Amino acid sequence: MLGCWEAALGAAVSVPVFLFVAAPYIRRYVAGGRCARVIIACRDTAKAEAAANEIRAETGNQQVIVKKLDLADTKSIREFAERFLAGHFLLTFLLLEHLKQSAPARIVNVSSLAHHGGRIRFHDLHGEKSYNRGLAYCHSKLANVLFTRELARRLQGKFQRQICPGLLYFAVGTKVTANALHPGSVSSELVRHSFVMTWLWKIFSFFLKTPCEGAQTSIYCAVAEELESVTGQYFRYFSILMSMEILDLKELKEYFSYSDCQPAYVSSQGRDDETAKKLWSVSCELLGIQWD
Protein backbone atom coordinates (compact mmCIF):
# COMPACT_ATOMS: atom_id res chain seq x y z
CA MET A 1 0.00 0.00 0.00
CA LEU A 2 2.78 2.44 0.86
CA GLY A 3 4.28 1.67 -2.53
CA CYS A 4 1.07 2.84 -4.15
CA TRP A 5 1.02 6.12 -2.21
CA GLU A 6 4.73 6.69 -2.70
CA ALA A 7 4.41 6.23 -6.45
CA ALA A 8 1.48 8.62 -6.44
CA LEU A 9 3.41 11.31 -4.63
CA GLY A 10 6.67 10.89 -6.46
CA ALA A 11 4.90 11.25 -9.79
CA ALA A 12 2.37 13.86 -8.79
CA VAL A 13 4.63 16.38 -7.16
CA SER A 14 7.21 17.62 -9.66
CA VAL A 15 7.92 20.41 -7.22
CA PRO A 16 11.14 21.88 -8.63
CA VAL A 17 9.59 22.41 -12.06
CA PHE A 18 6.38 23.77 -10.56
CA LEU A 19 8.25 26.23 -8.38
CA PHE A 20 9.96 27.97 -11.27
CA VAL A 21 6.84 28.25 -13.42
CA ALA A 22 4.62 29.23 -10.49
CA ALA A 23 7.01 31.80 -9.08
CA PRO A 24 5.61 34.70 -11.18
CA TYR A 25 2.10 33.94 -9.96
CA ILE A 26 3.15 33.51 -6.33
CA ARG A 27 4.92 36.87 -6.58
CA ARG A 28 1.71 38.55 -7.70
CA TYR A 29 -0.40 36.90 -5.02
CA VAL A 30 2.06 37.96 -2.31
CA ALA A 31 2.41 41.47 -3.69
CA GLY A 32 -1.23 41.89 -4.66
CA GLY A 33 -2.62 42.33 -1.17
CA ARG A 34 -2.87 38.71 -0.04
CA CYS A 35 0.12 39.09 2.31
CA ALA A 36 0.52 35.34 2.15
CA ARG A 37 3.01 33.33 4.15
CA VAL A 38 4.21 30.87 1.53
CA ILE A 39 5.92 27.63 2.52
CA ILE A 40 7.73 25.94 -0.34
CA ALA A 41 8.04 22.27 0.60
CA CYS A 42 10.46 20.53 -1.73
CA ARG A 43 12.95 17.68 -1.81
CA ASP A 44 15.40 19.80 -3.83
CA THR A 45 15.97 22.72 -1.48
CA ALA A 46 18.51 24.38 -3.80
CA LYS A 47 15.91 24.85 -6.54
CA ALA A 48 13.29 25.81 -3.99
CA GLU A 49 15.54 28.47 -2.46
CA ALA A 50 16.28 29.92 -5.89
CA ALA A 51 12.55 30.32 -6.55
CA ALA A 52 12.01 31.74 -3.05
CA ASN A 53 14.77 34.31 -3.52
CA GLU A 54 13.16 35.45 -6.76
CA ILE A 55 9.81 35.90 -5.05
CA ARG A 56 11.29 37.73 -2.05
CA ALA A 57 13.33 40.06 -4.26
CA GLU A 58 10.40 41.16 -6.40
CA THR A 59 7.71 41.38 -3.70
CA GLY A 60 9.74 42.48 -0.70
CA ASN A 61 7.85 39.89 1.34
CA GLN A 62 10.26 37.86 3.45
CA GLN A 63 7.57 35.39 4.52
CA VAL A 64 8.49 32.94 1.75
CA ILE A 65 10.03 29.97 3.50
CA VAL A 66 11.72 26.83 2.19
CA LYS A 67 11.27 23.50 3.96
CA LYS A 68 12.71 20.15 2.93
CA LEU A 69 10.08 17.51 2.17
CA ASP A 70 10.37 14.24 0.24
CA LEU A 71 6.84 12.91 -0.21
CA ALA A 72 8.15 9.44 -1.08
CA ASP A 73 9.81 9.12 2.34
CA THR A 74 7.55 8.76 5.39
CA LYS A 75 10.40 9.75 7.69
CA SER A 76 10.82 13.01 5.78
CA ILE A 77 7.06 13.63 5.97
CA ARG A 78 7.01 13.19 9.75
CA GLU A 79 10.07 15.43 10.19
CA PHE A 80 8.48 18.11 8.03
CA ALA A 81 5.21 17.96 9.98
CA GLU A 82 7.09 18.23 13.28
CA ARG A 83 9.12 21.22 12.07
CA PHE A 84 6.08 22.89 10.54
CA LEU A 85 3.98 22.78 13.63
CA ALA A 86 0.26 19.28 2.47
CA GLY A 87 -2.00 15.67 -0.63
CA HIS A 88 -0.35 12.69 0.72
CA PHE A 89 -2.27 10.45 3.14
CA LEU A 90 0.23 10.61 6.01
CA LEU A 91 1.12 14.29 5.57
CA THR A 92 -2.53 15.28 5.47
CA PHE A 93 -3.20 13.19 8.58
CA LEU A 94 -0.37 14.85 10.49
CA LEU A 95 -1.40 18.39 9.55
CA LEU A 96 -5.18 18.03 9.47
CA GLU A 97 -5.91 19.58 12.85
CA HIS A 98 -3.79 22.58 11.92
CA LEU A 99 -5.75 22.88 8.67
CA LYS A 100 -9.05 22.79 10.56
CA GLN A 101 -7.85 25.53 12.89
CA SER A 102 -6.82 27.59 9.86
CA ALA A 103 -10.15 27.11 8.06
CA PRO A 104 -11.19 27.94 5.48
CA ALA A 105 -8.40 25.76 4.14
CA ARG A 106 -7.82 23.69 1.01
CA ILE A 107 -6.14 20.41 0.18
CA VAL A 108 -5.28 20.05 -3.51
CA ASN A 109 -3.99 16.73 -4.85
CA VAL A 110 -2.41 16.49 -8.30
CA SER A 111 -3.76 13.41 -10.06
CA SER A 112 -3.91 12.69 -13.78
CA LEU A 113 -6.12 11.66 -16.67
CA ALA A 114 -4.12 8.43 -16.41
CA HIS A 115 -6.30 7.43 -13.46
CA HIS A 116 -8.73 6.06 -16.06
CA GLY A 117 -6.25 3.23 -16.67
CA GLY A 118 -5.73 2.54 -12.97
CA ARG A 119 -7.00 -0.21 -10.69
CA ILE A 120 -6.60 -0.66 -6.94
CA ARG A 121 -5.12 -4.14 -6.67
CA PHE A 122 -5.58 -4.90 -3.00
CA HIS A 123 -3.93 -8.30 -3.43
CA ASP A 124 -0.73 -6.65 -4.67
CA LEU A 125 -0.66 -3.02 -3.57
CA HIS A 126 3.15 -2.89 -3.42
CA GLY A 127 3.50 -4.35 -6.91
CA GLU A 128 5.63 -7.18 -5.56
CA LYS A 129 3.87 -9.89 -7.59
CA SER A 130 3.59 -7.98 -10.83
CA TYR A 131 5.07 -4.55 -11.57
CA ASN A 132 4.89 -2.27 -14.57
CA ARG A 133 5.92 1.33 -14.03
CA GLY A 134 3.39 2.69 -16.49
CA LEU A 135 0.52 0.86 -14.84
CA ALA A 136 1.89 1.74 -11.40
CA TYR A 137 1.58 5.39 -12.37
CA CYS A 138 -2.05 4.88 -13.42
CA HIS A 139 -2.83 2.98 -10.21
CA SER A 140 -1.27 5.72 -8.10
CA LYS A 141 -3.26 8.44 -9.86
CA LEU A 142 -6.46 6.52 -9.21
CA ALA A 143 -5.40 6.28 -5.55
CA ASN A 144 -5.08 10.10 -5.53
CA VAL A 145 -8.65 10.48 -6.77
CA LEU A 146 -10.07 7.94 -4.31
CA PHE A 147 -8.16 9.46 -1.39
CA THR A 148 -9.46 12.92 -2.26
CA ARG A 149 -13.02 11.66 -2.58
CA GLU A 150 -13.00 9.86 0.77
CA LEU A 151 -11.14 12.69 2.52
CA ALA A 152 -13.73 15.22 1.34
CA ARG A 153 -16.54 12.98 2.54
CA ARG A 154 -14.98 12.57 5.98
CA LEU A 155 -14.15 16.26 6.35
CA GLN A 156 -17.64 17.45 5.52
CA GLY A 157 -19.86 14.64 6.72
CA LYS A 158 -22.71 15.88 4.54
CA PHE A 159 -22.85 17.22 1.02
CA GLN A 160 -25.26 19.45 -0.80
CA ARG A 161 -25.41 18.17 -4.34
CA GLN A 162 -25.47 20.53 -7.26
CA ILE A 163 -26.20 20.05 -11.00
CA CYS A 164 -26.39 16.24 -10.96
CA PRO A 165 -25.37 13.38 -8.63
CA GLY A 166 -21.64 12.93 -8.31
CA LEU A 167 -20.69 16.00 -10.34
CA LEU A 168 -20.34 18.95 -7.99
CA TYR A 169 -20.47 19.27 -4.23
CA PHE A 170 -20.47 22.17 -1.81
CA ALA A 171 -18.83 21.73 1.56
CA VAL A 172 -20.78 21.68 4.78
CA GLY A 173 -18.84 21.10 7.99
CA THR A 174 -15.16 21.74 8.70
CA LYS A 175 -14.65 24.31 5.91
CA VAL A 176 -11.59 22.32 4.81
CA THR A 177 -12.01 21.26 1.20
CA ALA A 178 -10.21 18.55 -0.76
CA ASN A 179 -10.03 18.42 -4.55
CA ALA A 180 -7.95 16.60 -7.13
CA LEU A 181 -6.94 17.69 -10.60
CA HIS A 182 -5.40 16.75 -13.92
CA PRO A 183 -2.91 19.46 -14.99
CA GLY A 184 -2.67 18.27 -18.59
CA SER A 185 0.22 16.65 -20.43
CA VAL A 186 3.12 18.88 -19.44
CA SER A 187 6.62 19.10 -20.82
CA SER A 188 8.46 18.35 -17.58
CA GLU A 189 11.00 15.93 -16.10
CA LEU A 190 8.32 13.34 -15.38
CA VAL A 191 9.62 10.91 -18.02
CA ARG A 192 13.33 11.44 -17.33
CA HIS A 193 13.88 7.83 -16.24
CA SER A 194 12.44 6.34 -19.43
CA PHE A 195 14.44 6.57 -22.65
CA VAL A 196 11.43 5.66 -24.80
CA MET A 197 9.11 8.16 -23.12
CA THR A 198 11.75 10.88 -23.25
CA TRP A 199 12.10 10.25 -26.98
CA LEU A 200 8.33 10.33 -27.50
CA TRP A 201 8.08 13.47 -25.35
CA LYS A 202 10.48 15.23 -27.71
CA ILE A 203 8.69 14.06 -30.85
CA PHE A 204 5.29 15.22 -29.62
CA SER A 205 6.54 18.24 -27.70
CA PHE A 206 4.39 20.50 -29.86
CA PHE A 207 1.27 18.97 -28.28
CA LEU A 208 2.50 19.25 -24.71
CA LYS A 209 1.64 22.09 -22.39
CA THR A 210 4.39 24.29 -21.09
CA PRO A 211 5.13 24.06 -17.36
CA CYS A 212 3.53 27.49 -17.04
CA GLU A 213 0.27 26.22 -18.55
CA GLY A 214 0.47 23.04 -16.51
CA ALA A 215 0.62 24.99 -13.26
CA GLN A 216 -2.60 26.91 -13.90
CA THR A 217 -5.15 24.44 -12.60
CA SER A 218 -3.21 23.80 -9.38
CA ILE A 219 -2.95 27.52 -8.68
CA TYR A 220 -6.58 28.12 -9.51
CA CYS A 221 -7.79 25.32 -7.22
CA ALA A 222 -5.64 26.68 -4.42
CA VAL A 223 -6.79 30.32 -4.51
CA ALA A 224 -9.93 30.91 -6.60
CA GLU A 225 -12.63 32.42 -4.39
CA GLU A 226 -15.45 30.72 -6.30
CA LEU A 227 -14.05 27.32 -5.28
CA GLU A 228 -13.95 28.13 -1.57
CA SER A 229 -16.71 25.68 -0.67
CA VAL A 230 -16.38 23.20 -3.54
CA THR A 231 -14.99 19.85 -2.41
CA GLY A 232 -14.59 16.21 -3.43
CA GLN A 233 -14.04 17.13 -7.06
CA TYR A 234 -11.67 16.24 -9.87
CA PHE A 235 -10.81 19.13 -12.20
CA ARG A 236 -8.96 19.20 -15.46
CA TYR A 237 -7.35 21.74 -17.73
CA PHE A 238 -9.63 23.40 -20.27
CA SER A 239 -7.62 26.02 -22.10
CA ILE A 240 -9.36 29.37 -22.44
CA LEU A 241 -8.26 32.98 -22.35
CA MET A 242 -6.75 33.74 -18.96
CA SER A 243 -9.09 35.39 -16.48
CA MET A 244 -7.26 38.45 -15.26
CA GLU A 245 -9.92 39.08 -12.62
CA ILE A 246 -8.51 36.04 -10.85
CA LEU A 247 -4.77 36.51 -11.37
CA ASP A 248 -4.76 40.29 -11.68
CA LEU A 249 -2.10 40.10 -14.41
CA LYS A 250 -3.56 42.46 -16.97
CA GLU A 251 -0.25 42.97 -18.69
CA LEU A 252 -0.14 39.28 -19.64
CA LYS A 253 -3.73 38.87 -20.74
CA GLU A 254 -2.90 38.45 -24.43
CA TYR A 255 -0.09 35.95 -23.94
CA PHE A 256 -1.28 33.18 -21.65
CA SER A 257 -4.05 30.64 -21.52
CA TYR A 258 -5.78 29.76 -18.28
CA SER A 259 -7.88 26.92 -16.97
CA ASP A 260 -11.54 27.52 -16.22
CA CYS A 261 -11.12 24.60 -13.81
CA GLN A 262 -14.37 22.80 -14.53
CA PRO A 263 -15.21 19.46 -12.91
CA ALA A 264 -14.18 16.65 -15.23
CA TYR A 265 -15.37 13.10 -15.80
CA VAL A 266 -14.03 10.59 -13.28
CA SER A 267 -13.65 6.92 -14.18
CA SER A 268 -16.07 4.42 -12.66
CA GLN A 269 -13.20 3.14 -10.50
CA GLY A 270 -12.63 6.68 -9.24
CA ARG A 271 -16.29 6.93 -8.19
CA ASP A 272 -16.32 3.68 -6.26
CA ASP A 273 -16.97 4.74 -2.66
CA GLU A 274 -16.51 1.23 -1.27
CA THR A 275 -13.04 0.98 -2.82
CA ALA A 276 -12.23 4.45 -1.47
CA LYS A 277 -13.24 3.43 2.05
CA LYS A 278 -11.30 0.17 1.87
CA LEU A 279 -8.19 1.93 0.54
CA TRP A 280 -8.47 4.42 3.40
CA SER A 281 -8.69 1.61 5.95
CA VAL A 282 -5.74 -0.29 4.48
CA SER A 283 -3.66 2.90 4.36
CA CYS A 284 -4.29 3.55 8.06
CA GLU A 285 -3.40 -0.04 8.89
CA LEU A 286 -0.12 0.06 6.99
CA LEU A 287 0.86 3.41 8.50
CA GLY A 288 -0.13 2.34 11.99
CA ILE A 289 -2.52 5.25 12.51
CA GLN A 290 -6.18 5.71 13.44
CA TRP A 291 -8.07 8.18 11.30
CA ASP A 292 -11.82 7.97 11.78
pLDDT of 81 higher than 70: yes
Q: What is the pLDDT of residues 213-265, one digit of tens each?
A: 888 888 888 988 888 889 999 998 755 444 444 444 444 333 333 345 678 88
Cβ atoms of 282 and 5 within 8 Å: the answer is: no
CATH class of the structural domain 2-287: alpha beta
Task: Write down the pLDDT at residue 261.
Answer: 65
Helix, strand and coil in the chain, % to nearest 5: 55, 15, 30
Q: How confident is the model at residue 170 (pLDDT cuts 50, 70, 90)?
A: low
Q: How confident is the model at residue 58 (pLDDT cuts 50, 70, 90)?
A: confident
Task: Write down the pLDDT at residue 2.
Answer: 40
Cβ atoms of 50 and 66 within 8 Å: the answer is: no
Higher pLDDT among residues 245 and 134, named by residue: 134
Domain ranges of the chain: 2-287
DSSP state letters, 266-287:
--TGGG-HHHHHHHHHHHHHHH
Cα angle, residue 280 at apex, residues 274 and 281 outer, rounded to 5° = 90
Using the Cα atoms of residue 110, residue 115, residue 121 and residue 127 in order, give the sign of their dihedral. Answer: negative
DSSP state letters, 142-156:
HHHHHHHHHHHHHHH
DSSP state of 31: I
- The catalytic residue positions are 137
